[in-house]
Amino acid sequence: APVILWLRRDLRLADQAALAAAVASGAPVIPVYILDDDTPKHRKMGAASRWWLHHSLTALDADLRALGSRLILRAGKSDDVLCALAEETGASAIHCMRHYEPWWRNAEKAVASGLSTGCAFVCHDGNYLLPAGSVTTGTGGQYKIYTPFMRALWQHMPPPVPLAAPAHVAAPHTWPASEGLNDWALLPTEPDWSGAMADMWIPGEAGARHRLEDFADKAKFYDEKRNLPSVAGSSFLSPHLHFGEISPAACWHATMHAGGSVDVFLKELVWRDYAQNVIVQMPEYGAKNARDAFDRLPWRDLSDPAVKADFVAWTKGRTGYPIVDAGMRQLWATGWMHNRVRMIAASFLVKHLLIDWREGEKWFWDTLVDADYGSNSVNWQWTAGTGVDSNMFVRIMAPLSQSEKFDAARYIREWVPELAGLQEPYIHDPDEYGARPKSYPRKIIGHKAARERALKAHEVVKS
Ligand code: FAD
Protein backbone atom coordinates (compact mmCIF):
# COMPACT_ATOMS: atom_id res chain seq x y z
CA ALA A 1 0.00 0.00 0.00
CA PRO A 2 1.23 3.54 -0.73
CA VAL A 3 1.86 6.24 1.85
CA ILE A 4 0.68 9.83 1.52
CA LEU A 5 3.00 12.78 2.04
CA TRP A 6 0.85 15.75 3.06
CA LEU A 7 2.68 18.98 2.17
CA ARG A 8 1.86 22.42 3.54
CA ARG A 9 4.49 25.01 4.48
CA ASP A 10 7.32 22.50 4.01
CA LEU A 11 7.74 22.58 0.25
CA ARG A 12 11.22 21.07 0.01
CA LEU A 13 12.95 17.75 -0.53
CA ALA A 14 16.07 18.22 1.61
CA ASP A 15 15.87 17.99 5.40
CA GLN A 16 12.17 17.14 5.13
CA ALA A 17 11.55 14.57 7.86
CA ALA A 18 8.09 13.59 6.60
CA LEU A 19 9.41 12.86 3.10
CA ALA A 20 12.40 11.01 4.56
CA ALA A 21 10.07 8.82 6.65
CA ALA A 22 7.76 8.17 3.69
CA VAL A 23 10.72 7.13 1.52
CA ALA A 24 12.22 5.02 4.31
CA SER A 25 8.97 3.05 4.61
CA GLY A 26 9.83 1.51 1.22
CA ALA A 27 6.24 2.09 0.00
CA PRO A 28 5.23 4.14 -3.03
CA VAL A 29 4.75 7.78 -2.02
CA ILE A 30 1.88 10.06 -3.03
CA PRO A 31 2.86 13.69 -2.38
CA VAL A 32 -0.23 15.90 -2.07
CA TYR A 33 -0.76 19.62 -1.58
CA ILE A 34 -4.23 20.71 -0.51
CA LEU A 35 -5.42 24.26 -1.11
CA ASP A 36 -7.44 24.66 2.06
CA ASP A 37 -9.65 27.68 2.61
CA ASP A 38 -12.19 25.65 4.57
CA THR A 39 -10.68 24.29 7.80
CA PRO A 40 -12.30 26.12 10.76
CA LYS A 41 -10.46 29.30 11.75
CA HIS A 42 -8.40 29.00 8.59
CA ARG A 43 -6.87 32.28 7.52
CA LYS A 44 -7.16 32.49 3.79
CA MET A 45 -3.73 33.00 2.30
CA GLY A 46 -3.13 36.57 1.14
CA ALA A 47 -2.64 37.62 -2.48
CA ALA A 48 1.17 37.89 -2.39
CA SER A 49 1.46 34.50 -0.68
CA ARG A 50 -0.74 32.95 -3.36
CA TRP A 51 1.57 34.28 -6.04
CA TRP A 52 4.49 32.70 -4.19
CA LEU A 53 2.64 29.44 -3.66
CA HIS A 54 1.90 29.05 -7.36
CA HIS A 55 5.58 29.27 -8.24
CA SER A 56 6.73 27.21 -5.29
CA LEU A 57 4.37 24.35 -6.18
CA THR A 58 5.53 24.51 -9.79
CA ALA A 59 9.15 24.21 -8.65
CA LEU A 60 8.37 21.40 -6.22
CA ASP A 61 6.51 19.39 -8.85
CA ALA A 62 9.49 19.71 -11.21
CA ASP A 63 11.90 18.66 -8.43
CA LEU A 64 9.73 15.65 -7.56
CA ARG A 65 9.50 14.63 -11.22
CA ALA A 66 13.29 14.59 -11.39
CA LEU A 67 13.17 11.92 -8.65
CA GLY A 68 10.50 9.81 -10.40
CA SER A 69 7.54 11.27 -8.53
CA ARG A 70 5.10 14.17 -8.91
CA LEU A 71 2.77 16.40 -6.93
CA ILE A 72 -0.97 15.76 -6.61
CA LEU A 73 -3.13 18.84 -6.08
CA ARG A 74 -6.51 18.88 -4.40
CA ALA A 75 -8.63 21.69 -2.95
CA GLY A 76 -10.96 21.55 0.05
CA LYS A 77 -11.05 20.97 3.79
CA SER A 78 -7.81 19.17 4.60
CA ASP A 79 -9.21 16.34 6.71
CA ASP A 80 -12.04 15.57 4.24
CA VAL A 81 -9.62 15.57 1.31
CA LEU A 82 -6.98 13.47 3.07
CA CYS A 83 -9.40 10.90 4.47
CA ALA A 84 -10.99 10.50 1.02
CA LEU A 85 -7.56 10.20 -0.63
CA ALA A 86 -6.45 7.60 1.91
CA GLU A 87 -9.61 5.60 1.20
CA GLU A 88 -9.24 5.97 -2.58
CA THR A 89 -5.59 4.86 -2.65
CA GLY A 90 -5.69 2.35 0.25
CA ALA A 91 -2.81 4.25 1.89
CA SER A 92 -1.28 2.74 5.00
CA ALA A 93 0.01 6.01 6.42
CA ILE A 94 -0.02 9.79 6.06
CA HIS A 95 3.22 11.60 6.87
CA CYS A 96 3.39 15.36 7.39
CA MET A 97 5.46 18.05 9.06
CA ARG A 98 3.91 19.59 12.16
CA HIS A 99 2.57 23.16 12.00
CA TYR A 100 1.36 25.43 14.76
CA GLU A 101 -1.15 27.83 13.23
CA PRO A 102 -4.44 27.24 15.08
CA TRP A 103 -6.13 26.04 11.89
CA TRP A 104 -3.37 23.57 11.12
CA ARG A 105 -3.57 22.18 14.63
CA ASN A 106 -7.34 21.81 14.12
CA ALA A 107 -6.77 20.10 10.80
CA GLU A 108 -4.18 17.70 12.27
CA LYS A 109 -6.62 16.69 15.01
CA ALA A 110 -9.42 16.24 12.51
CA VAL A 111 -7.27 14.04 10.23
CA ALA A 112 -6.10 11.90 13.16
CA SER A 113 -9.67 11.25 14.28
CA GLY A 114 -11.18 10.96 10.79
CA LEU A 115 -8.92 8.27 9.33
CA SER A 116 -10.03 4.66 9.25
CA THR A 117 -8.02 2.30 11.45
CA GLY A 118 -5.83 0.93 8.67
CA CYS A 119 -4.10 4.24 8.06
CA ALA A 120 -1.56 5.75 10.46
CA PHE A 121 -1.11 9.52 10.83
CA VAL A 122 2.41 10.70 11.68
CA CYS A 123 3.47 14.33 12.27
CA HIS A 124 7.22 15.06 12.07
CA ASP A 125 9.29 17.94 13.45
CA GLY A 126 11.97 19.95 11.72
CA ASN A 127 10.27 23.05 10.34
CA TYR A 128 11.58 24.88 13.40
CA LEU A 129 14.82 24.68 15.34
CA LEU A 130 12.92 22.85 18.08
CA PRO A 131 9.30 21.73 18.38
CA ALA A 132 7.18 24.58 19.79
CA GLY A 133 6.41 24.04 23.45
CA SER A 134 9.47 21.83 23.98
CA VAL A 135 11.68 24.54 25.48
CA THR A 136 10.48 24.87 29.06
CA THR A 137 11.47 26.81 32.17
CA GLY A 138 13.14 25.13 35.13
CA THR A 139 9.71 24.37 36.55
CA GLY A 140 8.36 22.97 33.30
CA GLY A 141 6.41 26.10 32.32
CA GLN A 142 6.35 27.87 28.95
CA TYR A 143 8.40 30.97 28.20
CA LYS A 144 6.43 34.06 27.31
CA ILE A 145 9.32 36.48 26.76
CA TYR A 146 11.88 36.26 23.96
CA THR A 147 15.24 36.63 25.76
CA PRO A 148 14.88 33.82 28.32
CA PHE A 149 13.32 31.65 25.60
CA MET A 150 16.29 32.30 23.31
CA ARG A 151 18.81 31.54 26.07
CA ALA A 152 17.09 28.25 26.88
CA LEU A 153 16.81 27.24 23.23
CA TRP A 154 20.45 28.15 22.63
CA GLN A 155 21.50 25.37 25.03
CA HIS A 156 20.15 22.84 22.52
CA MET A 157 21.92 24.27 19.48
CA PRO A 158 23.23 23.52 16.95
CA PRO A 159 20.25 21.65 15.52
CA PRO A 160 20.83 18.19 14.01
CA VAL A 161 22.79 18.11 10.74
CA PRO A 162 20.25 18.54 7.91
CA LEU A 163 19.16 15.44 5.97
CA ALA A 164 20.02 15.23 2.27
CA ALA A 165 17.18 15.00 -0.27
CA PRO A 166 16.34 11.42 -1.25
CA ALA A 167 17.84 10.15 -4.52
CA HIS A 168 14.56 8.61 -5.63
CA VAL A 169 10.90 8.70 -4.56
CA ALA A 170 8.95 5.55 -5.47
CA ALA A 171 5.79 6.16 -7.52
CA PRO A 172 2.50 4.26 -7.14
CA HIS A 173 1.27 2.05 -10.05
CA THR A 174 -1.41 4.57 -10.84
CA TRP A 175 -1.52 8.18 -9.78
CA PRO A 176 -4.70 9.54 -8.20
CA ALA A 177 -6.28 12.43 -10.13
CA SER A 178 -4.81 15.87 -9.62
CA GLU A 179 -6.42 19.26 -10.06
CA GLY A 180 -4.67 21.74 -12.37
CA LEU A 181 -2.55 24.42 -10.71
CA ASN A 182 -3.71 27.03 -13.22
CA ASP A 183 -7.33 26.30 -12.32
CA TRP A 184 -6.60 27.51 -8.81
CA ALA A 185 -6.02 31.00 -10.22
CA LEU A 186 -3.39 31.89 -7.61
CA LEU A 187 -1.69 34.42 -9.88
CA PRO A 188 -2.96 37.96 -10.29
CA THR A 189 -4.41 38.76 -13.71
CA GLU A 190 -5.89 42.21 -14.20
CA PRO A 191 -3.92 44.05 -13.16
CA ASP A 192 -0.91 41.77 -12.89
CA TRP A 193 1.04 43.44 -10.08
CA SER A 194 3.64 40.72 -9.77
CA GLY A 195 6.38 42.07 -12.09
CA ALA A 196 8.75 43.37 -9.41
CA MET A 197 8.14 40.25 -7.34
CA ALA A 198 9.16 38.04 -10.23
CA ASP A 199 12.32 40.16 -10.67
CA MET A 200 13.29 39.80 -7.04
CA TRP A 201 12.40 36.24 -6.11
CA ILE A 202 12.88 32.67 -7.25
CA PRO A 203 10.31 30.73 -5.22
CA GLY A 204 11.21 27.10 -4.57
CA GLU A 205 14.00 25.09 -3.03
CA ALA A 206 16.69 26.02 -5.56
CA GLY A 207 15.95 29.73 -5.09
CA ALA A 208 16.17 29.26 -1.32
CA ARG A 209 19.51 27.48 -1.63
CA HIS A 210 20.91 30.30 -3.75
CA ARG A 211 19.86 32.91 -1.22
CA LEU A 212 21.48 30.94 1.58
CA GLU A 213 24.74 30.41 -0.33
CA ASP A 214 24.85 34.07 -1.16
CA PHE A 215 24.19 35.09 2.44
CA ALA A 216 26.62 32.60 4.01
CA ASP A 217 29.50 34.78 2.74
CA LYS A 218 27.96 37.93 4.22
CA ALA A 219 26.72 36.52 7.52
CA LYS A 220 29.70 37.80 9.46
CA PHE A 221 28.74 41.40 8.64
CA TYR A 222 25.10 40.90 9.56
CA ASP A 223 24.98 43.12 12.63
CA GLU A 224 26.66 46.10 10.94
CA LYS A 225 24.44 45.98 7.88
CA ARG A 226 21.06 44.57 8.80
CA ASN A 227 19.62 47.89 10.00
CA LEU A 228 20.52 49.82 6.86
CA PRO A 229 17.64 49.72 4.38
CA SER A 230 19.88 50.98 1.55
CA VAL A 231 22.10 47.91 1.85
CA ALA A 232 21.15 44.27 1.19
CA GLY A 233 22.55 43.14 4.54
CA SER A 234 20.02 40.53 5.62
CA SER A 235 19.43 37.07 4.22
CA PHE A 236 16.14 37.52 2.28
CA LEU A 237 15.25 34.02 3.40
CA SER A 238 11.93 34.86 5.07
CA PRO A 239 9.51 33.73 2.33
CA HIS A 240 11.61 30.62 1.70
CA LEU A 241 11.54 29.80 5.41
CA HIS A 242 7.85 30.56 5.64
CA PHE A 243 6.99 28.17 2.82
CA GLY A 244 9.45 25.65 4.17
CA GLU A 245 11.59 25.64 1.04
CA ILE A 246 14.61 25.49 3.28
CA SER A 247 14.88 24.27 6.87
CA PRO A 248 16.11 26.49 9.72
CA ALA A 249 18.65 23.75 10.53
CA ALA A 250 20.10 24.15 7.02
CA CYS A 251 20.33 27.93 7.57
CA TRP A 252 22.02 27.39 10.92
CA HIS A 253 24.59 24.93 9.66
CA ALA A 254 25.45 26.97 6.57
CA THR A 255 26.26 30.07 8.64
CA MET A 256 27.26 29.01 12.17
CA HIS A 257 30.99 29.11 11.44
CA ALA A 258 30.88 32.43 9.57
CA GLY A 259 32.36 34.33 12.52
CA GLY A 260 31.84 38.08 12.99
CA SER A 261 28.32 38.85 14.14
CA VAL A 262 26.68 35.67 12.88
CA ASP A 263 25.19 35.00 16.31
CA VAL A 264 23.00 38.06 15.85
CA PHE A 265 21.59 36.40 12.73
CA LEU A 266 21.10 33.07 14.48
CA LYS A 267 19.17 34.88 17.21
CA GLU A 268 16.83 36.26 14.56
CA LEU A 269 16.16 32.70 13.46
CA VAL A 270 15.23 32.04 17.08
CA TRP A 271 12.63 34.84 16.84
CA ARG A 272 10.91 32.68 14.26
CA ASP A 273 10.71 29.81 16.74
CA TYR A 274 9.68 32.19 19.49
CA ALA A 275 6.69 33.39 17.46
CA GLN A 276 5.43 29.81 17.13
CA ASN A 277 5.93 29.33 20.82
CA VAL A 278 3.66 32.34 21.43
CA ILE A 279 0.84 31.24 19.12
CA VAL A 280 0.80 27.77 20.64
CA GLN A 281 0.16 29.37 24.02
CA MET A 282 -2.18 32.03 22.63
CA PRO A 283 -3.74 30.85 19.36
CA GLU A 284 -5.78 34.08 19.08
CA TYR A 285 -2.65 36.24 19.03
CA GLY A 286 -3.42 37.57 15.56
CA ALA A 287 -6.79 38.90 16.67
CA LYS A 288 -6.61 39.72 20.37
CA ASN A 289 -4.48 42.10 22.45
CA ALA A 290 -2.35 40.07 24.81
CA ARG A 291 -2.66 42.94 27.32
CA ASP A 292 -6.36 43.32 28.05
CA ALA A 293 -5.91 46.93 29.15
CA PHE A 294 -5.39 47.82 25.48
CA ASP A 295 -8.96 46.78 24.74
CA ARG A 296 -9.86 50.19 26.18
CA LEU A 297 -7.57 52.17 23.87
CA PRO A 298 -9.68 54.47 21.68
CA TRP A 299 -8.29 53.60 18.24
CA ARG A 300 -9.48 55.94 15.52
CA ASP A 301 -12.53 54.58 13.74
CA LEU A 302 -11.94 53.36 10.17
CA SER A 303 -15.58 53.91 9.23
CA ASP A 304 -14.84 57.65 9.48
CA PRO A 305 -13.81 58.72 5.94
CA ALA A 306 -10.95 60.90 7.24
CA VAL A 307 -9.46 57.98 9.14
CA LYS A 308 -9.99 55.67 6.20
CA ALA A 309 -8.14 58.20 4.01
CA ASP A 310 -5.19 58.11 6.42
CA PHE A 311 -5.17 54.33 6.31
CA VAL A 312 -5.24 54.31 2.51
CA ALA A 313 -2.40 56.86 2.42
CA TRP A 314 -0.35 54.49 4.59
CA THR A 315 -1.07 51.47 2.37
CA LYS A 316 -0.16 53.39 -0.76
CA GLY A 317 2.96 55.02 0.64
CA ARG A 318 1.61 58.58 0.54
CA THR A 319 1.91 59.73 4.16
CA GLY A 320 4.49 62.47 3.54
CA TYR A 321 7.02 60.59 5.68
CA PRO A 322 9.60 59.40 3.11
CA ILE A 323 10.93 56.42 5.07
CA VAL A 324 7.41 55.12 5.73
CA ASP A 325 6.36 55.68 2.14
CA ALA A 326 9.47 53.98 0.74
CA GLY A 327 8.78 50.93 2.89
CA MET A 328 5.12 50.69 2.01
CA ARG A 329 5.90 50.99 -1.70
CA GLN A 330 8.67 48.39 -1.45
CA LEU A 331 6.13 46.09 0.19
CA TRP A 332 3.53 46.64 -2.50
CA ALA A 333 6.01 46.11 -5.33
CA THR A 334 8.12 43.23 -4.05
CA GLY A 335 6.07 41.55 -1.28
CA TRP A 336 8.89 42.24 1.20
CA MET A 337 10.01 45.11 3.38
CA HIS A 338 13.24 45.71 5.23
CA ASN A 339 12.90 44.79 8.92
CA ARG A 340 13.90 48.19 10.33
CA VAL A 341 11.41 49.85 7.98
CA ARG A 342 8.69 47.35 8.96
CA MET A 343 9.14 48.53 12.53
CA ILE A 344 9.01 52.19 11.51
CA ALA A 345 5.99 51.77 9.21
CA ALA A 346 4.09 49.63 11.73
CA SER A 347 4.79 52.05 14.54
CA PHE A 348 3.64 54.93 12.34
CA LEU A 349 0.27 53.28 11.70
CA VAL A 350 -0.33 52.40 15.31
CA LYS A 351 0.97 55.52 17.02
CA HIS A 352 1.08 58.41 14.53
CA LEU A 353 -2.21 57.44 12.91
CA LEU A 354 -3.66 55.76 16.02
CA ILE A 355 -5.10 52.96 13.89
CA ASP A 356 -5.57 49.51 15.42
CA TRP A 357 -2.56 47.25 14.84
CA ARG A 358 -4.92 44.55 13.55
CA GLU A 359 -5.62 46.65 10.44
CA GLY A 360 -1.91 46.78 9.71
CA GLU A 361 -1.47 43.12 10.45
CA LYS A 362 -4.19 42.32 7.89
CA TRP A 363 -2.57 44.54 5.27
CA PHE A 364 0.79 42.85 5.78
CA TRP A 365 -0.93 39.46 5.69
CA ASP A 366 -2.24 40.23 2.23
CA THR A 367 0.85 41.88 0.78
CA LEU A 368 3.90 40.09 2.26
CA VAL A 369 5.35 37.07 0.51
CA ASP A 370 6.62 35.98 3.94
CA ALA A 371 3.22 36.60 5.65
CA ASP A 372 3.30 34.29 8.63
CA TYR A 373 0.61 34.09 11.29
CA GLY A 374 3.05 33.74 14.18
CA SER A 375 5.78 36.15 13.06
CA ASN A 376 3.37 38.79 11.80
CA SER A 377 1.13 38.92 14.86
CA VAL A 378 4.03 38.71 17.32
CA ASN A 379 5.86 41.58 15.63
CA TRP A 380 2.74 43.73 15.32
CA GLN A 381 1.82 43.23 18.97
CA TRP A 382 5.44 43.91 19.94
CA THR A 383 5.45 47.19 17.99
CA ALA A 384 2.04 48.20 19.32
CA GLY A 385 2.98 47.37 22.89
CA THR A 386 -0.14 45.21 23.22
CA GLY A 387 1.88 41.98 23.35
CA VAL A 388 3.21 39.61 25.99
CA ASP A 389 6.54 41.42 26.20
CA SER A 390 7.18 44.99 27.29
CA ASN A 391 4.68 47.76 26.67
CA MET A 392 6.28 49.62 23.79
CA PHE A 393 3.33 51.89 23.07
CA VAL A 394 4.82 54.92 24.79
CA ARG A 395 8.15 54.52 22.97
CA ILE A 396 7.14 56.50 19.93
CA MET A 397 9.62 56.18 17.10
CA ALA A 398 10.45 59.38 15.26
CA PRO A 399 10.42 58.25 11.61
CA LEU A 400 12.45 61.20 10.41
CA SER A 401 15.37 60.75 12.77
CA GLN A 402 15.27 56.98 12.21
CA SER A 403 15.61 57.70 8.50
CA GLU A 404 18.76 59.76 9.08
CA LYS A 405 20.21 57.45 11.68
CA PHE A 406 19.93 54.41 9.43
CA ASP A 407 21.08 56.26 6.35
CA ALA A 408 17.98 55.59 4.28
CA ALA A 409 18.53 58.20 1.54
CA ARG A 410 19.40 55.72 -1.22
CA TYR A 411 16.49 53.50 -0.24
CA ILE A 412 14.09 56.44 -0.38
CA ARG A 413 15.39 57.48 -3.79
CA GLU A 414 14.79 53.97 -5.06
CA TRP A 415 11.21 53.63 -3.84
CA VAL A 416 9.92 57.20 -3.89
CA PRO A 417 10.96 58.48 -7.31
CA GLU A 418 9.34 61.89 -6.66
CA LEU A 419 12.15 62.49 -4.16
CA ALA A 420 14.97 61.06 -6.26
CA GLY A 421 16.42 64.53 -6.90
CA LEU A 422 16.72 65.49 -3.22
CA GLN A 423 19.99 65.46 -1.32
CA GLU A 424 20.51 64.88 2.36
CA PRO A 425 19.22 66.00 4.76
CA TYR A 426 16.22 67.29 2.74
CA ILE A 427 15.21 63.85 1.53
CA HIS A 428 14.45 62.63 5.04
CA ASP A 429 11.95 65.40 5.75
CA PRO A 430 11.20 67.44 2.61
CA ASP A 431 8.25 69.24 4.23
CA GLU A 432 10.30 70.54 7.12
CA TYR A 433 13.09 71.83 4.85
CA GLY A 434 10.67 73.42 2.36
CA ALA A 435 12.04 71.03 -0.29
CA ARG A 436 8.87 69.06 -1.02
CA PRO A 437 8.17 68.59 -4.73
CA LYS A 438 4.51 69.19 -5.66
CA SER A 439 4.01 65.58 -6.64
CA TYR A 440 4.87 64.36 -3.14
CA PRO A 441 2.21 64.67 -0.39
CA ARG A 442 2.40 66.88 2.65
CA LYS A 443 2.83 65.05 5.97
CA ILE A 444 -0.61 63.79 6.93
CA ILE A 445 0.10 64.64 10.55
CA GLY A 446 3.00 66.38 12.29
CA HIS A 447 5.24 64.28 14.50
CA LYS A 448 4.61 66.33 17.63
CA ALA A 449 0.83 66.41 17.25
CA ALA A 450 0.77 62.68 16.54
CA ARG A 451 2.90 61.92 19.56
CA GLU A 452 0.69 63.95 21.86
CA ARG A 453 -2.48 62.35 20.51
CA ALA A 454 -1.06 58.85 20.98
CA LEU A 455 0.15 59.48 24.52
CA LYS A 456 -3.22 60.98 25.46
CA ALA A 457 -5.07 57.98 24.03
CA HIS A 458 -2.78 55.69 25.97
CA GLU A 459 -3.79 57.23 29.30
CA VAL A 460 -6.86 54.99 29.54
CA VAL A 461 -4.58 51.97 29.27
CA LYS A 462 -2.61 53.07 32.31
CA SER A 463 -5.64 53.89 34.47
P1 FAD B 1 17.01 38.16 8.31
O2 FAD B 1 17.33 39.38 9.06
O3 FAD B 1 18.03 37.61 7.39
O4 FAD B 1 16.60 37.06 9.39
C5 FAD B 1 16.66 35.65 9.11
C6 FAD B 1 15.33 35.00 9.37
O7 FAD B 1 15.00 35.08 10.75
C8 FAD B 1 14.18 35.64 8.64
O9 FAD B 1 14.10 35.15 7.31
C10 FAD B 1 13.00 35.21 9.49
O11 FAD B 1 12.58 33.90 9.20
C12 FAD B 1 13.58 35.22 10.89
N13 FAD B 1 13.32 36.51 11.54
C14 FAD B 1 14.08 37.62 11.50
N15 FAD B 1 13.54 38.59 12.25
C16 FAD B 1 12.40 38.09 12.78
C17 FAD B 1 11.41 38.60 13.65
N18 FAD B 1 11.46 39.84 14.15
N19 FAD B 1 10.35 37.80 13.95
C20 FAD B 1 10.27 36.52 13.48
N21 FAD B 1 11.21 36.00 12.65
C22 FAD B 1 12.25 36.75 12.31
N23 FAD B 1 8.70 38.00 9.39
C24 FAD B 1 8.12 36.98 8.74
O25 FAD B 1 8.80 36.00 8.40
N26 FAD B 1 6.79 37.00 8.44
C27 FAD B 1 5.99 38.05 8.79
O28 FAD B 1 4.78 38.02 8.53
C29 FAD B 1 6.59 39.16 9.46
N30 FAD B 1 5.85 40.25 9.80
C31 FAD B 1 6.46 41.29 10.46
C32 FAD B 1 5.67 42.39 10.83
C33 FAD B 1 6.27 43.47 11.49
C34 FAD B 1 5.41 44.65 11.90
C35 FAD B 1 7.64 43.46 11.77
C36 FAD B 1 8.29 44.62 12.48
C37 FAD B 1 8.41 42.37 11.41
C38 FAD B 1 7.84 41.27 10.76
N39 FAD B 1 8.60 40.14 10.39
C40 FAD B 1 7.98 39.09 9.75
C41 FAD B 1 9.99 39.98 10.87
C42 FAD B 1 11.12 40.48 9.95
O43 FAD B 1 10.86 41.78 9.52
C44 FAD B 1 11.34 39.57 8.74
O45 FAD B 1 11.43 38.22 9.14
C46 FAD B 1 12.64 39.96 8.03
O47 FAD B 1 12.64 41.30 7.65
C48 FAD B 1 12.82 39.08 6.80
O49 FAD B 1 13.95 39.43 6.08
P50 FAD B 1 15.23 38.46 6.03
O51 FAD B 1 14.78 37.09 5.63
O52 FAD B 1 16.23 39.12 5.19
O53 FAD B 1 15.62 38.44 7.56
Question: Which of 104, 127, 150 lies at the terminal end of a domain, its last residue?
Answer: 127
444 in a domain, yes or no? yes
**Cβ(127) – ligand 1 distance below 6 Å:** no
180 in a domain, yes or no? no
**What residue type is 326 in one-letter code?**
A
Domain enclosing residue 40, as ranges = 3-127
Mutate to test the pocket of ligand 1, among 100, 128, 256, 379 (most ligand atoms within 8 A of CB): 379
**Cβ(128) – ligand 1 distance below 6 Å:** no
27 in a domain, yes or no? yes
**Cβ(379) – ligand 1 distance below 6 Å:** yes
376 in a domain, yes or no? yes
pLDDT interval class at 190 (50, 70, 90): confident
pLDDT of 210 reads 98
Question: Which of 110, 127, 144 lies at the terminal end of a domain, its last residue?
Answer: 127
| 398-430 per-residue burial string, b: 16 or more CB within 10 A, e: under 16 | bbbebbbebebbebbbebbebbeebeeebbbbb
User: Is 233 found in the same domain as 317?
Assistant: no
189 in a domain, yes or no? no
The ipTM value here is 0.99
**Cβ(372) – ligand 1 distance below 6 Å:** yes
Q: What is the CATH number of the domain that holds 242?
A: 1.25.40.80
CA of residue 428 to ligand 1 center, whole Å: 25
Q: What is the CATH number of the domain that holds 90?
A: 3.40.50.620
User: Is 59 found in the same domain as 79?
Assistant: yes
pLDDT in tens, 275-325: 999 999 999 999 999 999 999 999 999 999 999 999 999 999 999 999 999
**Cβ(347) – ligand 1 distance below 6 Å:** no
Q: State mean pLDDT over 138-163.
A: 96
Domain count, the chain: 3
**CA separation, residue 199 to residues 63, 116, 212 (Å):** 22, 46, 18
User: Is 428 found in the same domain as 332?
Assistant: yes
Q: Please identify, by atom number, the ligand 1 atom nearest to the C-alpha of residue 275.
A: 20
Nearest-CA residue for atom 48 of ligand 1: 238
Mutate to test the pocket of ligand 1, among 213, 375, 383 (most ligand atoms within 8 A of CB): 375
Ranges of H-type helices in 145-234: 146-154, 195-200, 205-216, 222-225
319 in a domain, yes or no? yes
- Between helices 322-334 and 305-316, what is the axis angle to 10°? 70
User: Is 297 found in the same domain as 277?
Assistant: no
**Cβ(339) – ligand 1 distance below 6 Å:** yes
346 in a domain, yes or no? yes
User: Longest C-alpha distance within the chain, in Å?
Assistant: 75
Q: State mean pLDDT over 208-229.
A: 97
Residue 463 has pLDDT above 80, yes or no: no
**What residue type is 376 in one-letter code?**
N
pTM above threshold 0.90? yes
User: Is 71 found in the same domain as 37?
Assistant: yes
187 in a domain, yes or no? no
User: Is 232 found in the same domain as 373?
Assistant: no
CA of residue 373 to ligand 1 center, whole Å: 12
Question: Which of 257, 281, 305 lies at the terminal end of a domain, its last residue?
Answer: 281
CA distance 361 to 123: 29
